[in-house]
């Protein structure tokens, strides 16, 4: 039986890596796959110079053909608006470019955020790290060791958050190496993974990954990044099931985005779909004011109205917390709903 499980794991591992190698990087190809004539959008394609286009094919399959305003397409489609320089929008809106060790951010007293991998499977156009100097924080085992030494030397740290890029861009073997060394640090109790990769390539949830998280002495959780209910299809639901069966807590955080989910009905539907499939709605983030993506921003008063409409429909346990992350603050800042 163990040999069979290993073989299945290797097949799935190969499968997600093949999907990763086959992502769409040309916006013209992306539109053609969706039966949208690309000629009218040539000017938008130039924005790929500012931030490369990367879209996995399993994610494209969930987009509605012929619809240029599809909410999933909107998240990844380059626009000429990205060239606009907007006052108050920054290349480093959360002041993350200064790290305590290479690839390690210590913004909150008891938690550290570790850049496990520099790349992502999908490039979301609204990403607040679209300008992050990943070349200077490109992880490898030597740099991971510097981060591990820092964590070991700061006994106030009880939780390590794997981020990126996307931490699940790392192979299961590399994750196993890293988790084993974190487990050896006595004061670390929890491990959290923030990832969008299984959403866009569900095959990334392999048996080995499930075993790593469920058998660790650390209390492991995964926080997915899902913005719209259309991102949750049967393939993703099936991929998540082994994590649920292994009792790995699953959460979701979304970003409030104009043209994607700035509607109470859309967000209520998302909360319902998430909870139906064992994922707890966690945070609804206000857009981080990153330069080049101001067209996604939703005014705070509009966000408050949307959330109050959700409160009138959803039970409290399905309500994500509306928050804003402010550079230098010791925690996420809840938005006042009154």
Q: What is the pLDDT of residues 181-239, one digit of tens each?
A: 999 999 999 999 999 999 999 999 999 999 999 999 999 999 999 999 999 999 999 99
Which whole number is the average pLDDT over 10-35? 88
Residue-level pLDDT at 7 = 47
Distance CA 247, CA 19 (A): 27
Distance CA 125, CA 295 (A): 10
Cα 78 from chain centroid (whole Å): 18
Tell me: pLDDT of 99 over 80.
no
Residue-level pLDDT at 1 = 40
Q: For the segment 323-335, what is each residue's pLDDT rounded down to a tens digit?
A: 998 766 667 889 9
Q: For the segment 285-298, what is each residue's pLDDT rounded down to a tens digit?
A: 998 888 888 899 99
pTM for this structure? 0.91
Token pair in block for residue 274:
């998430």
Least confident of 13-27, 37-51, 97-111, 304-318: 97-111
| Neighbour-count burial of 21, counting CB atoms closer than 10 A to its CB (0-12 exposed, 13-18 middle, 19+ buried) | exposed
Residue-level pLDDT at 62 = 98
């Amino acid at each position: 039986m163990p040999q069979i499980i290993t073989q299945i794991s290797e097949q799935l591992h190969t499968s997600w890596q093949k999907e990763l190698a086959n992502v769409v990087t040309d916006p013209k190809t992306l539109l053609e796959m969706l039966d949208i004539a690309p000629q009218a959008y040539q000017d938008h394609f130039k924005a790929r110079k500012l931030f490369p286009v990367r879209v996995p094919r399993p994610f494209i399959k969930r987009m509605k053909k012929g619809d240029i305003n599809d909410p999933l397409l909107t998240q990844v489609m380059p626009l000429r608006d990205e060239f606009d320089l907007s006052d108050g929008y920054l290349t480093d809106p959360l002041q993350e470019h200064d790290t305590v060790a290479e690839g390690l951010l210590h913004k909150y007293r008891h938690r550290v955020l570790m850049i496990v991998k520099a790349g992502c499977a999908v490039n979301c156009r609204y990403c607040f790290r679209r300008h992050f100097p990943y070349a200077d924080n490109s992880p490898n085992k030597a740099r991971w060791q510097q981060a591990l030494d820092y964590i070991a030397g700061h006994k106030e740290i009880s939780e390590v958050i794997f981020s990126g890029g996307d931490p699940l861009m790392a192979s299961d073997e590399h994750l196993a190496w890293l988790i084993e060394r974190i487990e050896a640090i006595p004061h670390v109790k929890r491990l959290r993974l923030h990832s969008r990769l299984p959403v866009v390539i569900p095959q990334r949830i392999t048996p080995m990954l499930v075993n790593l998280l469920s058998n660790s002495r650390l209390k492991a959780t995964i926080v997915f990044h899902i913005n719209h209910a259309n991102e949750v299809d049967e393939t993703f639901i099936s991929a998540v099931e082994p994590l649920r069966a292994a009792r790995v807590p699953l959460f979701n955080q979304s970003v409030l985005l104009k043209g994607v989910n700035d509607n109470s009905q859309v967000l209520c539907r998302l909360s319902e779909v998430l909870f139906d499939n064992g994922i707890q709605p966690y945070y609804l983030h206000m857009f981080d004011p990153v330069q080049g993506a101001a067209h996604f921003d939703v005014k705070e008063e509009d966000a408050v109205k949307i959330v109050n409409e959700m409160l009138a429909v959803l039970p409290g346990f399905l309500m994500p917390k509306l928050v804003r992350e402010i550079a230098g603050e010791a925690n996420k800042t809840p938005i006042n709903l009154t």
